[in-house]
Amino acid sequence: MPVVVKLTPKKEVTVEGGKTAEKIFEELGLGKDIIAAKLNGKLIDLTDIILEGTLEPVSIHSKDGIEILRHSAAHLLAHAVSELYPDAKPTIGPPVEDPPGFYYDIEMPPISSDDLKKIEEKMREISNRNYKIEKMVLKKEELLQMFRDNPFKSELIKEEVEDGGKSTAYKQGNYVEFCTGPHVPSTGYIKAFKLLNVSTAFWRGKEDNPKLIRIYGTAFPTKEELEQYLNMVEEAKKRDHRKIGAELDLFIMRPEYGPAFPIYTPKGAIIRNELIDYMRELNAKAGYEEVWTPHAFRTTLWEKSGHMSHYRENMFLMELENEEYGMKPMNCPGHILIFQRKAWSYREMPARYSEFGTVYRYERSGVTNGLLRVRSLTQDDGHAFVRIDQIDQEVGKLIDMIQEVYYKTFGIKELRFKLSTRDENNREKYAGSDEVWAVATTKLKEVLESRGLAYEIKEGEAAFYGPKIDVDVRDAIGRYWQLSTIQLDFFMPDENHFDLKYVDENNQYHHPVMIHRAIYGTLDRFMGIIIEHFAGAFPLWLSPVQVRILTVGENAVPYANQVFGKLKGEGIRVDLDTSTNTISKKIRNAHDEKIPYVLILGEKEVSQNKVSVRDRKMRQKNLVNIEEFIGKVKEEISTRALEISFCETK
């Protein structure tokens, strides 16, 4: 029977079937980098016999090929562990796309980083033995017999293989894996790999299940690619906001007095305040009225809002004069009190309140992280109280706002939109009627789709009070963090909670829907993300010091003072370095501090009443008029330009 072999998307040949994919490719003269095949679009092993269909070679350099390589590398890891620790019980070990690599969860005694080296050596040894990786097709009973000593694999076989059905296992040397494959042809294909770290995980992610050792590693088709990746990781570590935050003196932590309570220094506070000013402008444009609410309330409020029953473990609570108080973990109940102060007409909806509200959440000790996960956090919070027919328009405006902020103003392109819906099998966990959920979820979906945004649906991740759209952004080392959020809430406005109302044109009362939203998410996490995004080289409007004046020789000092005063008078954040350091040293310091522009003032500038401008990208424009420079700088600041461009030569 004929097999159509697609050599490239355009080039096809037809060959006779009935032999292995490997044989077919070999006869067509394909190289050794072919490690698997695709039959009618499905990945298979080279050793599979092909009868008919469309067959494509899968190169180790392709996306599929690399995934197979990493999957096989995970097996190699489990194989090595099994040789070194005969009692170890491998569970699952998948490839991971982001960050690129793989892991394997194994039940075994805890290991150290020295052990990791040993395991890696053993992997190399097994790779060099170049075992053939052989596929075995086995009946369910045979598989259960084969893995009878491994309760994890047995559980998987019971679940995944039908009674009376068959599945596959792969054998390399004495090591056998229950796995559907495909895999590289032999262990010798896995050459460029490295084990990265060890942690723990729970079987199937449940805290009460057995604890497993998770070993992370990565693998690439070539040693060069592996090296390149490891270098990239090293480079990324230099952008870590904790490192840059200390170097540029933006914030400090004093864990002995307040673990995960960030303290913002003068320079960091400038960035925070610039971020606030910008968002304040956007909020005002979007119809939000800024409010302010206290940092603590009696727990009577938190009981009414449901926080005492749903969020108590994360709250800072205190008792005073026999009354219990709680630091606010969220701003919404405060905003609800503001909404409740008067009667509302349908004509006045939506009502919108915003607040840069600092909230306090007791996060478990192992989860905090620099500015990215803290216990005191300031949200660019806002609540819109809307009629149900206004949901889509309101959400649409927020999506536009998110896009403007991230794409345009900050140049952050890699956003991950998530639509979190309720778990349809557990409806009782959620508040509100089926109809309302259906309408709200559909509306959110439509808003995303009408804007052509790719999004992931996260079933079961909705808040109990309503579905939501979240936006995640990556940090320097590739972890995703949630920043923006748009949450629909039918719960707090209802009659069992705050019983919020507006009256319609027929004099009927309705509950408004609450939209909880934050664009940055929190100033803290957002600052962490942009520090890494810009690697500390902020756009001019955000830079704590926008211009530094450097003098060459003491004769230039009076003139430098004059220029300094002029820039300061224009509202530019400027400082002055008249130290006796060499000009080289002053430039180096400014560069290390990522100061956008430096003015170099020496004899020439003094005598001609000009300035020489050098930017942090080492571009320079000599002897220009001060006014010209000031004009351009002010323009870059007021337009919140992403790039510094004064020294650009066209």
Region 455-474 residues binding RNA, contact defined as CB under 7 A: 461, 463-465
- Rule CB under 7 A: say whether 363 interacts with RNA: yes
**From candidates 40, 54, 200, 393, binder to RNA by CB under 7 A:** 200
**Residue 408 in tokens:** 């345009």
- Rule CB under 7 A: say whether 263 interacts with RNA: no
Within residues 411-450, the interface with RNA by CB under 7 A covers none
The window from 4-12, 290-298, 359-367, 563-571 that contacts RNA (CB under 7 A) reads 359-367
Contacts of 586 (CB under 8 A, 6+ apart): 550, 577, 579, 598
Maximum Cα–Cα distance for the chain, whole Å?
95
Taking each helix axis as running N to C, give the angle between helix 63-84 and helix 113-129, from 0 to 180 degrees, rounded to the nearest 10.
110
Residue 568 annotated among the catalytic residues of the structure: no
CB atoms within 10 A of CB 43: 17
Residue 404 per-residue DSSP state: I
Q: Whose CA is closest to 630, among 619, 638, 618, 642?
A: 638
**From candidates 38, 71, 267, 307, binder to RNA by CB under 7 A:** 307
**Which residue lies nearer to RNA by CB, 303 or 570?**
303
User: Using CB atoms within 10 A of its CB, is residue 86 exposed (0-12), middle (13-18) or buried (19+)?
Assistant: exposed
Within residues 213-232, the interface with RNA by CB under 7 A covers 213-214
Q: Write down the least CB distance from residue 482 to RNA, Å.
A: 7
**Which residue lies nearer to RNA by CB, 112 or 426?**
112
- Rule CB under 7 A: say whether 202 interacts with RNA: yes
Residue 172 annotated among the catalytic residues of the structure: no
Binding mask 319-358 for RNA (x = CB under 7 A): ----------xx----------------------------
**From candidates 36, 69, 123, 253, binder to RNA by CB under 7 A:** 253
- Rule CB under 7 A: say whether 260 interacts with RNA: yes
> Distance between CA 200 and CA 208 in Å, rounded?
13
**Which residue lies nearer to RNA by CB, 606 or 630?**
606
**From candidates 41, 452, 618, 649, binder to RNA by CB under 7 A:** 618
- Rule CB under 7 A: say whether 368 interacts with RNA: yes
Catalytic residue among 79, 240, 379, 524: 379
Please, how many CA atoms are within 13 Å of residue 539, restricted to the half-sphere of its CB? 20
Catalytic residue among 45, 267, 332, 375: 332
**Which residue lies nearer to RNA by CB, 132 or 588?**
588
Residue 379 annotated among the catalytic residues of the structure: yes
**Which residue lies nearer to RNA by CB, 393 or 622?**
622
User: Using CB atoms within 10 A of its CB, is residue 256 exposed (0-12), middle (13-18) or buried (19+)?
Assistant: exposed
> Distance between CA 650 and CA 639 in Å, rounded?
20
- Rule CB under 7 A: say whether 602 interacts with RNA: yes
Q: Write down the least CB distance from residue 572 to RNA, Å.
A: 20
The window from 44-52, 228-236, 558-566, 578-586 that contacts RNA (CB under 7 A) reads 578-586
> Distance between CA 66 and CA 43 in Å, rounded?
13
Residue 604 annotated among the catalytic residues of the structure: no
> Distance between CA 599 and CA 611 in Å, rounded?
6
**From candidates 222, 228, 450, 622, binder to RNA by CB under 7 A:** 622
CA 37 to chain centre: 33
167-181 as b/e: b if 16+ CB within 10 A: bbbbebeebbbbbeb
Binding mask 521-560 for RNA (x = CB under 7 A): -------------------------------xxx------
Q: Write down the least CB distance from residue 583 to RNA, Å.
A: 4
- Rule CB under 7 A: say whether 210 interacts with RNA: no
Contacts of 556 (CB under 8 A, 6+ apart): 601, 602, 603, 605, 606
Contacts of 250 (CB under 8 A, 6+ apart): 244, 264, 265, 267, 268, 271, 527, 531, 544
Q: Whose CA is closest to 338, among 307, 273, 294?
A: 294
> Distance between CA 517 and CA 237 in Å, rounded?
31
**Residue 387 in tokens:** 């009629």
> Distance between CA 179 and CA 161 in Å, rounded?
11
> Distance between CA 171 and CA 178 in Å, rounded?
9
CB atoms within 10 A of CB 36: 29
**Which residue lies nearer to RNA by CB, 98 or 149?**
98
Q: Please report where in the chains the tokens 């992610």 appear, as a residue.
A: 205
**Which residue lies nearer to RNA by CB, 5 or 486?**
486
Residue 497 annotated among the catalytic residues of the structure: no
The window from 58-66, 191-199, 283-291, 396-404 that contacts RNA (CB under 7 A) reads 191-199
Within residues 86-125, the interface with RNA by CB under 7 A covers 110-113
Q: Write down the least CB distance from residue 592 to RNA, Å.
A: 7
401-411 as b/e: b if 16+ CB within 10 A: bbeebbeebbe
Cβ contact 531:283 at 8 Å: no
Cβ contact 394:515 at 8 Å: yes
Catalytic residue among 45, 115, 380, 381: 381
- Rule CB under 7 A: say whether 644 interacts with RNA: no
Residue 516 annotated among the catalytic residues of the structure: yes
- Rule CB under 7 A: say whether 484 interacts with RNA: no
Cβ contact 461:418 at 8 Å: yes
**Residue 67 in tokens:** 């995934």
The window from 126-134, 180-188, 519-527, 610-618 that contacts RNA (CB under 7 A) reads 610-618
Q: Write down the least CB distance from residue 630 to RNA, Å.
A: 19
Catalytic residue among 361, 497, 517, 614: 361
Contacts of 562 (CB under 8 A, 6+ apart): none
- Rule CB under 7 A: say whether 306 interacts with RNA: yes
Contacts of 159 (CB under 8 A, 6+ apart): none
Q: Write down the least CB distance from residue 208 to RNA, Å.
A: 9
Catalytic residue among 272, 383, 586, 616: 383
Q: Write down the least CB distance from residue 550 to RNA, Å.
A: 9
**From candidates 199, 231, 300, 639, binder to RNA by CB under 7 A:** 199
**Which residue lies nearer to RNA by CB, 471 or 587?**
587
**Which residue lies nearer to RNA by CB, 19 or 591?**
591
- Binding-residue total with RNA (CB under 7 A): 71
Catalytic residue among 194, 516, 573, 616: 516
- Rule CB under 7 A: say whether 211 interacts with RNA: yes
> Distance between CA 377 and CA 477 in Å, rounded?
22
Residue 475 annotated among the catalytic residues of the structure: no
**Which residue lies nearer to RNA by CB, 245 or 350?**
245
- Rule CB under 7 A: say whether 620 interacts with RNA: yes
**Which residue lies nearer to RNA by CB, 197 or 231?**
197
Q: Write down the least CB distance from residue 617 to RNA, Å.
A: 8
- Rule CB under 7 A: say whether 266 interacts with RNA: no
**Which residue lies nearer to RNA by CB, 454 or 618?**
618
Q: Active-site residues: which are they?
A: 332, 361, 379, 381, 383, 468, 516
